[in-house]
């Protein structure tokens, strides 16, 4: 009887051992959280072989570096329909101010801040139509028009430099290419209209009845 | 006594199907030329076999089957009891036949091999390429058109992360549209991986009272919008519970599903806290002209009924360096995607400089999808 | 060789036994066969069109099938309530009912396996789970644990009674050294099967309705109430319809087991209600939906309140000695307790776990005719198998069926 009991005890002990060994969950738990994992794994970061250059298409890009961030933005001057305003307008603004003729760019309404803050001359240089100017009168190239926006919208500019504001094009792989401010926002009327959503799910409505 | 027994012999209570006659030269009674009908009957047989298999050899053979269908019981009780085997037998018998055309023979051969391949995670590169070739060829045989399917593995030094800007989302649902077009989801059940929740200002992130099926002008006054989808957790509960390891987390952080390995138990769907997974309750159908032909084995290739699927961060695009369809489509730039291991990436900048949070942090799932506001 | 001969003869004799019987017997088997055929017919729709013919959706992805599966695992585990007193406590009063109990366990387990297969999206690829040729995600996935314990329990419950019956068939006594260790193992194993099944749900942090510590013990309590209740009813039927003798004492002792288990079950229910409703949190939404309805969605209210009423009534009846020992009251109480626990474990547990969904949305679940058809088919299958096993066992145990050289 004693042997039998001993046998049972040994067997159950062995069984418990086996169960304990096999039930430990297979855990890759070297990292406590994803942030730890990111920190550790980026120590030996060698870069990726993928590139998003092929996805940029035919658009001409220029590389800018602001505050340590280097990325591509679309070139602007080639896209403006009649750029090099001075090719047609040879006289400076003060001289083409004629009462009989229609006002230039009469169809552009400025819906941007208010009259006390913004008018045409806030950004445009009346002496040089081919360039923009800052609040203090320094000239700003059309390709770098974001330098105008960042005079007031500093927070959005910081976000844009980092990549949290605005749209990235191409792909996620370097080199980074982002759209600049004027690619989305019309500088004369920067806000967006409301619209209807792209789709509606009738199946969901059915399920929830 | 024997008369009484004979009386019951004539009632073929259990198996109605197996005695189909075949014109095939192989002489198998359980196979036959491969037709749609045959498939159904075989699966019926399978149900019985499965019941038998679980009890079969161990139970004292006093079942009615033993008496009425000795041939089937003896033959199948000792083989691997799977319906696929029976279907495969049909495939083989078709291949044996001199009447079937070369194309249908090739198709049968492909279907046979596809049925018995292993788990994608465990395949070698050659096996992966082989299965991709088979799938592409099968599609060609069926429709005459060709696909572009890739089986590219995870890149080194890549860990995908995603950030969503709540202030920027205006509820346009361009992302939902793009996702459906990119990933060949079932149109009949209007399957969508992405949900956009419209929430009222001032109530916090109150999902209970949010509306994820709105249809009015957006952005609506006094509301904000949040999108959810599979968050590709780093500690995914869905991966833990899959009984066959049909879903797993790849080295680049994507949680993927091998559609051909999934058995359809839906345990992963019960385990996901974020409503990330979708099930094909019926055969998924996409109109031919809307099928996206650039596919990845783990991504947007055509699925079959009875398997699980989910957002894959567009593996067919992201492993080629492109952004997922939702990120590409969002007109406001509310969605940010990139490589978490690259210290210069935009996603890293967002994590380090914006106030980010994730949903249901307390559950310990470590999702790789962060939310932030301007 | 001789054993094989005896085995073949046992099979032949069992077939004789099964195909002979009174008119009532034949009617019963015919009735069950009819429902099995209906079930097969409905299942063929499901195989053809996929699970969309059921009422399950992405929101409530487990419904009638898994509810029945969960309940029946409990019934199967309850067979141990007969084995334990007989072999551990050496209480002779339970001995007659042991084989019936184990037969019930086998039938219930086959039903469980059938429900699981019926619920699968891809039954033809279930071979993917076989270790070796497929991938078996043990020990991470609780489903794999469940597969192991359920199949092991099935094997135990087939082999031990088979051994005993085989010996008795030959007129020999069965050796205790062979079957007692197995019987002891099956006691622990029975607790394991239901605990593991409970862990399937308990381990999901995504479903707060299930993710509490009391789910496992609650499953055990309700199983040990519902299973023996069914056994009592079955023993009563066997007593009246066959020559198998079952003492009143056996039934009365079983009734005591049911009573205690039902009382513990009620206490656990009260504990759960307190936790959910004393200081409700966001996680109590499922309980609110179940007991009081949410946002006007009240589909489960009639079910759960019927279940609770029946449960409490049955427990009260069973608590009073006078009523419990009056067999008419006893059978009635056992029946309503069985139904109450079926509802509680099915619609009262599985479905509300999914409602509301992860983002608070409510989509209710209603089973379709096809689901109900397949369910009835599988229950008929279980009853059919049980009847066959019980009839054979009874014939052998009453000495009528013996091996003739």
pLDDT in tens, C55-83: 999 999 999 999 999 999 999 998 777 77
pLDDT for the residue B14: 39
Range of the domain at C301: 2-397
DSSP alpha helices (H): ranges in chain A?
2-23, 34-41, 120-123, 146-149, 154-162, 181-184, 202-207
The domain limits of chain B are 2-116, 160-372
pLDDT for the residue B351: 94
Chain B residues lying within 8 Å of A55, measured CB to CB: 321-322
B355: distance to nearest CA of chain C, Å? 23
For A171, which residue in chain B has the nearest alpha carbon? B322
Which segments of A76-119 are extended strands (E)? Answer: none
**Residue C189 belongs to a domain:** yes
**Residue A63 belongs to a domain:** yes
Q: How confident is residue A107, by pLDDT bands cut at 50, 70 and 90? A: confident
Q: Once rounded to an integer, what is the mean pLDDT over residues B321-334?
A: 94
Q: Of B35, B179, B268, B166, which is closest to residue A199 (Cα–Cα)?
A: B179
Chain C residues lying within 8 Å of A26, measured CB to CB: 139-140
User: In this predicted model, what pLDDT tens digit does every residue of B172-202 receive, in sequence order?
Assistant: 999 999 999 999 999 999 999 999 999 999 9
- In angstroms, the CA C379 to CA C362 distance is 30
pLDDT of B268 over the 50 cut:
yes
Between helix C215-241 and helix C248-277 the angle, nearest 10°, is 150
Contact B244 C159 (CB under 8 A): no
**Residue C339 belongs to a domain:** yes
**Residue C402 belongs to a domain:** no
Tokens, residue B339: 């490589």
pLDDT for the residue B283: 94
User: Which residue from C139, C181, C362 is facing A23, i.e. has the nearest CB?
Assistant: C139
Chain B residues lying within 8 Å of C200, measured CB to CB: 267
User: Which residue from C138, C181, C362 is facing A208, i.e. has the nearest CB?
Assistant: C362
Q: Of B123, B142, B122, which is closest to residue B132 (Cα–Cα)?
A: B123
Residue A38 near residue B356, CB atoms below 8 Å: no
Q: Count of domains in chain A?
A: 1
**Residue A24 belongs to a domain:** no
Contact B67 C15 (CB under 8 A): yes
- In angstroms, the CA A42 to CA C80 distance is 56
pLDDT for the residue A94: 67
pLDDT for the residue A25: 56
Chain C residues lying within 8 Å of A8, measured CB to CB: 181
DSSP alpha helices (H): ranges in C210-358?
215-241, 248-277, 285-292, 301-319, 321-325, 327-345, 351-354
pTM exceeding the 0.90 threshold for the entire prediction:
no
Range of the domain at A130: 50-91+108-191
User: Which residue from A37, A50, A163 is facing B155, i.e. has the nearest CB?
Assistant: A50
pLDDT for the residue A97: 65
**Residue A8 belongs to a domain:** no
Subunits with at least 3 CB pairs below 8 A relative to chain A? Answer: B, C
For chains A and B, CB pairs below 8 A equal: 151
For B40, which residue in chain C has the nearest alpha carbon? C48
Q: Which run of H or E residues covers position B367?
A: none
For C145, which residue in chain A has the nearest alpha carbon? A23
Chain B residues lying within 8 Å of A52, measured CB to CB: 321-322
Q: Of A172-176, A204-208, B143-147, B263-267, which one has max mean pLDDT?
A: B263-267
Instruction: Kindly indicate whether the domain formed by B160-372 is annotated with CATH number 3.60.110.10.
Output: no
Q: How confident is residue A40, by pLDDT bands cut at 50, 70 and 90? A: confident
- In angstroms, the CA A110 to CA C82 distance is 88
Chain A residues lying within 8 Å of B223, measured CB to CB: none
Q: How confident is residue B66, by pLDDT bands cut at 50, 70 and 90? A: very low
Which of residues A187 and B80 earns the better pLDDT score? A187
Is residue A201 less than 8 Å (CB to CB) from chain B?
Answer: yes
For A185, which residue in chain B has the nearest alpha carbon? B332
Tokens, residue C304: 């759960």
pLDDT for the residue B43: 53
**Residue C405 belongs to a domain:** no
pLDDT for the residue A76: 87
Is residue C140 less than 8 Å (CB to CB) from chain A?
Answer: yes
Lowest mean pLDDT among A118-122, C64-68, C223-227: A118-122
Evaluate the CA torsion angle B119, B124, B125, B127 in order and state its sign.
negative
Chain C residues lying within 8 Å of A21, measured CB to CB: none
Question: In this structure, what CATH number is given to the domain that contains residue C104?
Answer: 1.20.1630.10
**Burial zone of C282 (CB within 10 Å; 0-12 exposed, 13-18 middle, 19+ buried):** exposed
Residue A192 near residue B170, CB atoms below 8 Å: yes
Contact A45 B341 (CB under 8 A): yes
pLDDT of C193 over the 80 cut:
yes
- In angstroms, the CA B188 to CA A206 distance is 13
Residue B59's contacts (CB-CB under 8 Å, 6 or more residues apart) are C106, C158
pLDDT for the residue A31: 79
For C13, which residue in chain B has the nearest alpha carbon? B62
High-pLDDT (> 90) share of chain C, %: 63
User: In this predicted model, what pLDDT tens digit does every residue of B215-259 receive, in sequence order?
Assistant: 999 899 999 999 999 999 999 999 999 999 999 999 999 999 999
Torsion of CA A137, A139, A142, A148, to 10 degrees: -40
- In angstroms, the CA B256 to CA B278 distance is 13
Q: How confident is residue C279, by pLDDT bands cut at 50, 70 and 90? A: very high
Residue B171 near residue A197, CB atoms below 8 Å: yes
Is residue B205 less than 8 Å (CB to CB) from chain C?
Answer: no
Is residue C139 less than 8 Å (CB to CB) from chain B?
Answer: no
- How are beta strands B160-165 and B369-372 bridged, if at all? parallel
Q: Count of domains in chain C?
A: 1
Chain A residues lying within 8 Å of B366, measured CB to CB: 33-34
For B233, which residue in chain A has the nearest alpha carbon? A34
Lowest mean pLDDT among B148-152, B270-274, C269-273: B148-152
Chain A residues lying within 8 Å of B228, measured CB to CB: none
Is residue B80 less than 8 Å (CB to CB) from chain C?
Answer: yes
Give the C-alpha distances (Å, rounded to integers) separating C267 from B45, B369, C292, C315: 46, 43, 20, 11
Q: Once rounded to an integer, what is the mean pLDDT over residues B136-145?
A: 88
Phi, psi of A162 (to 5 degrees): -75, -25
């Amino acid at each position: 009887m004693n042997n039998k009991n001993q046998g049972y005890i040994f067997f159950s002990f062995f069984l418990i051992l086996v169960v304990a060994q096999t039930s430990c969950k297979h855990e890759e738990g070297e990292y406590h959280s994803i942030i730890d994992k990111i920190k550790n794994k980026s120590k030996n970061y060698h870069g990726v072989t993928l590139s998003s250059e092929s996805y940029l298409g035919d658009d001409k890009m220029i590389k800018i570096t602001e505050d340590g961030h280097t990325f591509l933005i679309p070139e602007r001057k080639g896209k403006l329909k009649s750029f090099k305003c001075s090719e047609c307008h040879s006289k400076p603004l003060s001289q083409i101010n004629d009462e009989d003729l229609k006002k230039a760019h009469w169809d552009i309404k400025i819906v941007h801040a208010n009259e006390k803050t913004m008018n045409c001359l806030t950004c445009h240089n009346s002496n040089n139509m081919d360039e923009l100017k800052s609040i203090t009168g320094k000239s700003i190239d059309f390709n770098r028009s974001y330098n105008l926006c960042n005079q007031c919208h500093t927070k959005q500019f910081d976000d844009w430099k980092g990549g949290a504001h605005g749209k990235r094009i191409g792909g996620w792989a370097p080199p980074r290419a982002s759209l600049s401010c004027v690619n989305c926002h019309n500088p004369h009327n920067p806000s967006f209209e409301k619209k209807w959503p792209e789709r509606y799910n009738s199946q969901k409505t059915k399920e929830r009845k | 006594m024997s008369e009484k027994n004979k009386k019951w012999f004539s009632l073929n209570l259990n198996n109605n199907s197996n005695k189909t006659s075949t014109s095939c030269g192989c002489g198998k009674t359980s196979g036959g030329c491969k037709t749609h009908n045959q498939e159904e009957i075989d699966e019926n047989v399978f149900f019985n076999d499965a019941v038998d298999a679980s009890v079969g050899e161990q139970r004292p053979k006093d079942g009615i089957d033993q008496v009425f269908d000795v041939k089937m019981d003896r033959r199948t009780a000792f083989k691997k009891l799977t319906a696929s085997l029976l279907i495969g037998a049909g495939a083989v018998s078709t291949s044996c036949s001199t009447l079937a055309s070369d194309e249908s023979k090739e198709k049968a051969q492909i279907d046979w091999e596809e049925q018995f391949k292993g788990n994608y995670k465990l395949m070698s590169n050659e096996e992966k390429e082989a299965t991709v070739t088979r799938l592409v060829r099968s599609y060609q045989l069926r429709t005459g058109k060709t696909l572009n399917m890739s089986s590219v593995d995870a890149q080194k030094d890549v860990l995908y992360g995603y950030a969503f800007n709540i202030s920027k989302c205006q509820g346009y649902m361009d992302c939902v549209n793009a996702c459906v077009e990119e990933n060949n989801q079932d149109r009949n059940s209007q399957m969508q991986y992405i949900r956009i929740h419209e929430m009222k200002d001032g109530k916090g992130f109150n999902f209970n009272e949010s509306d994820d099926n709105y249809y009015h002008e957006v952005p609506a006054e006094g509301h904000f919008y949040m999108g959810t989808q599979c968050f590709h957790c780093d500690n995914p509960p869905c991966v833990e519970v899959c009984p066959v390891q049909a879903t797993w987390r790849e080295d680049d952080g994507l949680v993927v599903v091998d559609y051909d390995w999934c058995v359809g138990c839906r345990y992963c769907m019960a385990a996901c806290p974020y409503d990330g997974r979708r099930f094909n309750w019926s055969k998924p159908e996409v109109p031919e002209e809307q099928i996206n032909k650039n596919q990845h084995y783990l991504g947007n290739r055509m699925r079959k009924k009875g398997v699980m699927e989910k957002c894959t961060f567009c593996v067919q695009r992201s492993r080629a360096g492109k952004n997922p369809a939702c990120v590409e489509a969002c007109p406001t730039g509310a969605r940010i995607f990139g490589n978490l291991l690259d210290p210069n990436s935009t996603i890293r900048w967002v994590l380090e400089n914006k106030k980010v949070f994730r949903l249901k942090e307390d559950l310990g799932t470590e999702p790789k999808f962060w939310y932030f506001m301007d | 060789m001789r054993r094989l001969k005896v085995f073949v003869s046992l099979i032949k004799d069992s077939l004789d036994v099964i195909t002979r019987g009174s008119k009532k017997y034949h009617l019963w088997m015919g009735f069950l066969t009819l429902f099995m055929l209906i079930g097969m017919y409905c299942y063929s729709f499901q195989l053809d069109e996929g699970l969309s013919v059921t009422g399950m959706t992405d929101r409530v992805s487990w419904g009638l099938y898994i509810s029945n599966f969960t309940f029946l695992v409990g019934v199967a585990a309850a067979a141990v309530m007969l084995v334990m007193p007989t072999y551990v406590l050496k209480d002779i009063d339970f001995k007659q009912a042991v084989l019936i109990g184990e037969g019930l366990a086998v039938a219930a387990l086959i039903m469980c396996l059938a429900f699981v297969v019926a619920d699968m999206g891809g039954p033809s690829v279930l071979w993917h789970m076989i270790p070796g040729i497929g991938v078996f995600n043990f020990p991470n996935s609780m489903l794999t644990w469940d597969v192991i314990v359920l199949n092991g329990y099935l094997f135990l419950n087939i082999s031990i009674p088979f051994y005993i019956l085989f010996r008795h068939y030959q007129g020999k006594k069965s050796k205790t050294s062979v079957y007692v260790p197995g019987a002891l193992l099956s006691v622990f194993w029975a607790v394991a099967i239901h605990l593991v099944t409970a862990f399937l749900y308990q381990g999901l942090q995504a479903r707060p309705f299930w993710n509490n510590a009391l789910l496992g013990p609650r499953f055990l309590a309700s199983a040990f109430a519902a299973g023996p209740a069914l056994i009592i009813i079955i023993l009563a039927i066997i007593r009246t319809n066959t020559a198998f003798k079952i003492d009143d004492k056996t039934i009365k002792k079983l009734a005591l087991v049911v009573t205690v288990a039902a009382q513990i079950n009620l206490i656990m229910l009260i504990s759960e209600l307190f936790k959910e409703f004393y200081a409700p949190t966001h996680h109590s939404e499922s309980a609110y939906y179940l007991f009081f309805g949410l946002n006007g969605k009240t589909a489960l209210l009639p079910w759960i309140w019927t279940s609770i009423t029946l449960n409490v009534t049955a427990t009260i009846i069973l608590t009073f000695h006078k009523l419990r020992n009056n067999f008419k009251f006893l059978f009635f109480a056992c029946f309503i307790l069985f139904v109450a626990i079926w509802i509680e474990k099915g619609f009262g547990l599985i479905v509300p776990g999914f409602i509301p969904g992860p983002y608070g949305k409510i989509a209710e679940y209603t089973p379709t005719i096809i689901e109900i058809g397949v369910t009835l088919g599988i229950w008929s299958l279980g009853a059919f198998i049980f009847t066959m096993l019980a009839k054979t066992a009874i014939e052998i145990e009453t000495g009528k069926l013996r091996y003739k050289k």
